[in-house]
């Protein structure tokens, strides 16, 4: 298939909507492992990294499975929006390309986390198998189609910052949506 650029390949759904598919496979790993992993590893992490503020450990340990699942759902909306923007623009969308870059960097962060703890961390299995290879493949396809924007170091920082903000926002939404039910469970468990 050719596009208006002549012999170069058009960017199709595998590249643009594939971001959402790759993200979903990666986040299935996280959904299956995050709550239990934190319960098992939090005490050892606290001991190994005493310089990390206690508030960080409390927050990490307080995320319940239901809250994490809702946060993943909220993030799905962000990734889906970026993927659709990519599809509608033939891969030219800045939102799509930023999300793609952030996804790849996210995979590298998972690998760094696994290195820091010297073992498995949620997301580290699918990062080298799905996240990083998909990102490299999609970027190669965008480059061949002539639509890949040049990536500057500043773009990487912005992409990671936006990914971090989206993650914090997704967890804030999840905490808000699940907080009332958590309070209801605590209230109903109290003796009358």
- Distance in angstroms (rounded) separating the CA atoms of residues 49 and 72: 27
**Spatial contact of 105 and 159, defined as CB atoms under 8 Å apart:** yes
**Spatial contact of 129 and 111, defined as CB atoms under 8 Å apart:** no
Query: Tens digit of pLDDT for each residue in 140-178?
Result: 999 999 999 988 888 888 888 888 899 899 999 999 998
Neighbour-count burial of 133, counting CB atoms closer than 10 A to its CB (0-12 exposed, 13-18 middle, 19+ buried): middle
The proportion of the chain whose per-residue pLDDT surpasses 90, expressed as a percent, equals 70
* pLDDT of amino acid 187: 45
In 10 A of CB 167, how many CB atoms? 16
pTM (two decimals): 0.84
* pLDDT of amino acid 152: 85
Strand partners, 2: 9
- Distance in angstroms (rounded) separating the CA atoms of residues 83 and 71: 18
Nearest to 17 by CA among 106, 88, 104, 94: 88
| pLDDT tops 50 at residue 2 | no
Query: Tens digit of pLDDT for each residue in 52-78?
Result: 999 999 888 888 889 999 999 999 999
Query: Tens digit of pLDDT for each residue in 91-101?
Result: 999 999 999 99
Nearest to 124 by CA among 45, 26, 21: 26
Nearest to 160 by CA among 89, 112, 88, 92: 112
């Amino acid at each position: 298939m050719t596009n208006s650029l002549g012999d170069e390949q058009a960017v199709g759904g595998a590249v643009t909507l594939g971001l959402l598919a790759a993200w979903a496979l990666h986040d299935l790993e996280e959904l299956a492992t995050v709550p239990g992993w934190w319960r098992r590893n939090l005490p050892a992490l606290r001991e190994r990294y005493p310089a990390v503020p206690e508030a960080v450990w409390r927050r990490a340990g307080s995320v319940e499975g239901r809250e994490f699942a809702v946060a993943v759902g909220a993030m799905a909306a962000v990734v889906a929006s970026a993927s659709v923007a990519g599809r509608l623009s033939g891969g030219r969308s800045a939102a799509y390309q930023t999300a793609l870059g952030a996804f790849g960097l996210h995979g590298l962060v998972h690998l760094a986390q696994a290195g820091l703890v010297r073992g498995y961390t949620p997301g580290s299995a699918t990062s080298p198998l799905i996240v990083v290879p998909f990102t490299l493949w999609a970027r190669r396809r965008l480059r061949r189609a002539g639509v890949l924007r040049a990536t500057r170091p500043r773009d990487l920082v912005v992409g990671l910052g936006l990914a971090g903000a989206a993650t914090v926002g997704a967890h804030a939404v999840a905490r808000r949506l699940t907080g009332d039910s958590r309070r209801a469970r605590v209230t109903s468990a109290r003796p009358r």
